[in-house]
Amino acid sequence: MKKKKSNFIIQGSILAITSILVRIIGIFYRIPLTNMIGTEGIGYYSSAYNIYSVLLLLSSYSLPLAVSKMVSARVSDGRYKNAYRVFQVAFIYAAVVGTLAMFITYFGADFYTSVVLKKPMVSYALKVLAPTILVVALLGVFRGYFQGLGTMIPTALSQVIEQIINAVASIVAAYLLYQEGFKSNLVYGGSEYPSALGAAGGTVGTFIGALSALVFFLFVFSIYRKSLYKRMKKDKTAEQEPLRMVSIDLLSTVLPIIISSVIYNISSVIDDGVFSQCMVSLGSTTNEISNLWGIFSGKYHLLTNVPIAIASALASSMIPSLTSSIAQGDRGQAVEKVGMSIRFAMLIAIPSAVGLMVLAGPIMNLLFSGDNALAANMMLYGASAVIFFSLSTITNAILQGINHMMIPIKHAAISLFIHLAALVIMLLVFKMGIYSVVFANIIFAASMCVLNARAISKYLEYRQEYRKTFLLPLLASGIMGILALGTYILCFYLIKNNGISTLLSIIVSVLLYGALLLKLKCVDEVELYQIPKGQSIIKLARKIHLL
């Protein structure tokens, strides 16, 4: 049991660390991209990406989770032949549905961007993204299969490869097409072509990066094939599952995750459409709306997504492990994994939210050029979204992992209704502008947290631990936040340099938070042993008398 627990933490840590690296790369390329094509261009880019994300959710986004869940359930009792059948059926499904979604995206781009979003120039970027849906669908099957087998390493490596190539290709293509946009202005008239074509160039990297990751997985699979065949030969399962039954099982697993994911993630597309329509009715121009949306999505949302990605990574690694525990009837181990997952996510999310809040202005000015006052205010008021979205992501995965697939759908639908009502009221009645989107998103995630927590308590008989999961990290983060702000003010007073002052305050904050976790006994020695490099951390902590 200790070995399984340790492996669960290690695999989760691999994906979490990779997600941090991938998000850091994402920030580093999105910063020059934003500075290159401007907030209007990044507004076009984000609008296209939101539409692409929903179509991806409808077609194949759920495949890694569904495939890993199904494969894990079969591998847990040695049915490797049936696990491979899941892979085969899922691959056919991905090819068919991914191709269909690709054509719908390409040929429907002009209608949706012109009629719904009132941003016809977004169609260039959306059309470039269309073939990426098919590539990501096939890629998702490979990732889900290997995660179901219990290894996150191929997924982690493919994510790094994908993001690095994406970053390079996006910047190069955006620069070249942005320059072409000025020529288009002269030919067709207008002033929006550089921003629109620059946004389209940014989406080129998404396709090339995903294609590179798919090629990597084909290479890994060709190497792994011999080992796979050996395992299947040892599989003495009397009956092979008929392909028809596997297909039905796949659809019954995929569809609830699709519906739940779409409702959970569609809020960004709905927000874009509702915000645009309401702001037009209030007298705003298309350029003003695109600029505001670009600041929200290209600055505020980009930074809050970094710690949230850790929760998503932990959720991806947890589902097959949790499903295996449930399949084996080991409720105790399942409860322990749930507790560890929520706690690990909060240990990251709470200090991240506090750090982004107290250093909102300095971080924005460090990363982005131009006037960042609006983006900094969004972060100041909306940093708590990091905590709520991280927790709701983890709890969604828990409910899916314990085979209550429809519960997150119900909760997401209720939360989306509350979210939309709040958004419209804040936009039209209180006229809060882009802040309406910030607060509405927090309301949505907070609602999901409350509803999911009640369901987990009911179906898993899980009692949430509060002291080490929420209270002590919040206390440590509060002390850290005060010191972070004080360090920044002192350094800026002495050296008058925002970049150096911000980086020094972040470094001091991270070190202090780690020390406080140990001093407050939020993390003990036994738990440190279970994480990668835990023994080295313990040795260092003893040397400086933290343990």
Largest Cα span, the chain:
75
Q: Which of 525, 522, 523, 520 is nearest to 542 (CA)?
A: 525
The predicted pLDDT at position 2 comes to 47
Phi first, then psi: what are they for 79, rounded to 5°?
-90, 70
pLDDT of residue 290: 86
CA-based Rg of the chain, rounded to a whole angstrom?
A: 23
Please report where in the chains the tokens 């040929």 appear, as a residue: 107
Which two three-digit tokens encode residue 117?
């979003």
Query: Using CA of residue 279, residue 280, residue 284, residue 289, what is the dihedral sign?
Result: positive
Characterise 170 by phi-psi region: left (phi > 0), alpha (psi -120 to 50), beta (else).
alpha
Q: Give residue for tokens 């796949």.
A: 250
Residue numbers in the chain where pLDDT is lower than 50: 1-6
Q: How far is CA 293 from CA 149, 380, 427, in A?
A: 41, 17, 14
Using a 10 angstrom Cβ sphere, with 0-12 exposed, 13-18 middle and 19 or more buried, the burial of residue 470 is: middle
Contact at 8 Å (CB) between 33 and 170?
Answer: yes
Q: Is the Cβ–Cβ distance between 9 and 531 less than 8 Å?
A: yes
pLDDT tens-digit readout, 239-254:
778 888 888 888 888 8
CB atoms within 10 A of CB 462: 19
Residues 137 and 157: their CA atoms lie apart, in Å, by: 18
Residue 442, SS3 per DSSP: helix
**Closest by alpha carbon to 344, among 364, 315, 373, 368?**
315
Buried b (16+ CB within 10 A) or exposed e, 438-456: bbbbbbbbbbbbebbbebb
Helix 193-234 vs helix 153-188: crossing angle, to nearest 10 = 160
In the 3-class helix/strand/coil scheme, how is 62-114 assigned residue by residue? CHHHHHHHHHHHHHCCCCHHHHHHHHHHHHHHHHHHHHHHHHHHHHHHHHHHH
Report how far residue 176's alpha carbon sits from residue 270's, in angstroms, rounded to the nearest whole number. 31
Q: At CA 97, angle to CA 95 and CA 101, rounded to 5?
A: 115
What does 451-478 look like in DSSP terms, one character per residue? HHHHHHHHHS------IIIIIHHHHHHH
CA distances from 200 to 30, 87, 187, 212 (A): 14, 33, 19, 19
**CB-count burial class (<10 Å; 0-12, 13-18, 19+) for 173:** buried
d(C-alpha 105, C-alpha 237), whole Å: 43
453's CB contacts (< 8 A; 6+ apart) are 395, 464
Concatenated DSSP letters of 105-163: HHHHHHHIIIIISS-GGGHHHHHHHHHHHHHHHHHHHHHHHHHHTT--HHHHHHHHHHH
Please report the pLDDT score of residue 6 as a whole number: 47
CA nearest to 56, candidates 157, 1, 131: 131
pLDDT reported for residue 509 = 95
In this structure, the number of other CB atoms found within 10 A of the CB of residue 213 comes to 26
34 neighbors 198 (Cβ within 8 angstroms):
no
> Which residues are within 8 A (CB) of 405 and not within 5 positions of it... i.e. 6 or more apart?
253, 256, 257, 260, 399
Query: Can you give 244-304 as a three-state secondary structure string?
Result: HHHHHHHHHHHHHHHHHHHHHHCHHHHHHHHHHHHHHHCCCCHHHHHHHHHHHHHHHHHHH
Residues whose CB is less than 8 angstroms from the CB of residue 398 and which lie 6 or more positions away in sequence, other chains included:
318, 322, 338, 341, 342, 452, 456, 460
Task: Give start and end residues of each alpha helix (H) in 300-383.
Answer: 301-327, 331-358, 360-367, 373-382
